[in-house]
Amino acid sequence: MKLTQLLFRYWLVVVIYEIASGAVCAFIAQNKRRDQGIWFIIGLLLGIAGIVVALIMGRLPDEKAAKNNLLLDSTRRLRSGWRILLFLIAIFVLYYLLAVLAELTRVVPPQSLFFLFYIVILLVTFMMLRFVDKRRFASVGFPYHGKIFKEILLGFVIGTVMIGLVGWAELVVGAIKLNPRPDVSPLMLIRNFGLSLIFFAYFAMGEELLFRGYPYQALIEGTGVTGATILMSVVFGAMHLMNPQANLFSTVNTMLAGVWLSIAYLKTRSLYFPFGMHFSWNIVQSFFLSLPVSGLLTNRTLFIPTDYGPEWLTGGRYGPEAGAGTTAIMVIVIVYFILEKRIRPSYDFARLNERLQNSESDPSKGELQKGN
């Protein structure tokens, strides 16, 4: 299909791209204290220039166009880098619009806007798969097969054992001490546990969808598994630099956690397994060990913790994720996952990942091969 036909068919994507180009330039201008109106127009012109370049490239002979086209690959599909950029721009625009709407209507409290962010991630992931990639939403990591619960449970057990070993080691050497909360009733503990379950399940799934979902999988297509895993893990670590008390040690450990969770996705080609590990690591660390999770400490915990140090072991106010125990357990499990051959996909990944030929999915093509 010619690029001009693609532009007319996906006119909504073109409009979003243009608005996003202007919005990004206006946002940068605001931070630089420049005229936002002028820079919004400049952004629109830059967006048009990009479309013109793509049109010129689309008129080249097929072989030459496939090799030199900066926008489309040999299958006339948006290259992975552009798809990732479109994904990020769509998140920025949609979240900004929804946040403004929420603020005007006061439907969502300001302190809850961050919850809205992961809903936007979900919506944009669906739109990218449905309208750009022409793939089923399940292909991002939510296949329906007979071992979904088993993958989540296996991840939950592994994550619990990992953080449990880290906490146990700190308790044994006297680096931390946990005192029961005398002023909390059993009913309050049950309530706190339930709230913690919901909170950490929501954010674990949100982070998996963002860092092991569409952008990571598109990056694999463009750079390969190794390059995508390293790059996304670096981004995963860098994003946590915004957390309270973050330091170099915590960033390195978070990068290792990114590798750990990425390999878990690659092993199963689903997000159930890494979600189970991510969720259990956080809930056990926060509620049962009552320690900070990436610098965040709540009062919905089972114990009152006391940190005796040393900081290189306990992680101090950032928590175990900035300590040497986490480094050791991450390295051990990463090596184990790389060598382990029994963990594998429980469905036909190639079939589910096929692009849809029609606007509606064909149920007969959606049947997945059950795992043995």
Asked whether 201 and 358 are in contact (CB, 8 A), the reply is no
Torsion of CA 234, 235, 241, 242, to 10 degrees: 180
Do both 155 and 61 map to the same domain? no
Do both 204 and 318 map to the same domain? yes
- Find the range with the poorest average confidence among 53-57, 84-88, 297-301, 331-335: 53-57
Measured distance CA(248)–CA(321) in Å, rounded: 11
| 368 domain residue, yes or no | no
Give the bridge partners for 72, in sequence order. 78
* pLDDT of 283 strictly over 80: yes
**Confidence (pLDDT) at 11:** 65
Taking residues 43-52, report their average pLDDT.
Answer: 72
Do both 86 and 67 map to the same domain? no
Tell which residue, 280, 330, 303, has the closest CA to residue 176.
Answer: 303
Of the residues 30, 49, 77, which one is the last residue of a structural domain? 77
Do both 203 and 331 map to the same domain? yes
Do both 191 and 277 map to the same domain? yes
Taking residues 152-171, report their average pLDDT.
Answer: 97
The rounded percent of the chain whose pLDDT value lies above 90 is: 52
- Highest average pLDDT, of 61-70, 106-115, 146-155, 345-354, comes from 146-155
Tell which residue, 138, 122, 134, 131, has the closest CA to residue 208.
Answer: 122
| 228 domain residue, yes or no | yes
**Confidence (pLDDT) at 151:** 96
* pLDDT of 358 strictly over 50: no
What would the two tokens of residue 125 be? 């992931």
Do both 182 and 43 map to the same domain? no
Give the range of the structural domain holding residue 60, as residue numbers without chain letter: 1-77
What would the two tokens of residue 15 be? 């409009």
Query: What digits encode the pLDDT tens for the residues 286-306?
Result: 999 999 999 988 888 999 999
Do both 188 and 294 map to the same domain? yes
Asked whether 121 and 91 are in contact (CB, 8 A), the reply is yes
| 363 domain residue, yes or no | no
* pLDDT of 60 strictly over 50: no
Query: What digits encode the pLDDT tens for the residues 302-333?
Result: 999 999 989 999 999 999 999 999 999 999 99
Do both 36 and 163 map to the same domain? no
Do both 35 and 154 map to the same domain? no
Number of structural domains (the chain) is: 3
Band of residue 353 on the pLDDT scale cut at 50, 70, 90: confident
Residues written for the chain: 372
User: 46: burial class by Cβ within 10 Å (0-12, 13-18, 19+)?
Assistant: middle
Do both 87 and 190 map to the same domain? no
* pLDDT of 66 strictly over 70: no
| 361 domain residue, yes or no | no
186-211 and 225-239 helices cross at what angle (nearest 10)? 130
Top pLDDT among 364 and 306 is at: 306
| 60 domain residue, yes or no | yes
Measured distance CA(177)–CA(87) in Å, rounded: 45
Report the mean per-residue pLDDT for the chain. Answer: 83
Do both 330 and 181 map to the same domain? yes
Band of residue 367 on the pLDDT scale cut at 50, 70, 90: very low
Band of residue 350 on the pLDDT scale cut at 50, 70, 90: confident
Query: What digits encode the pLDDT tens for the residues 199-254?
Result: 999 999 999 999 999 999 999 988 899 999 999 999 999 989 888 899 999 999 99
Band of residue 30 on the pLDDT scale cut at 50, 70, 90: low
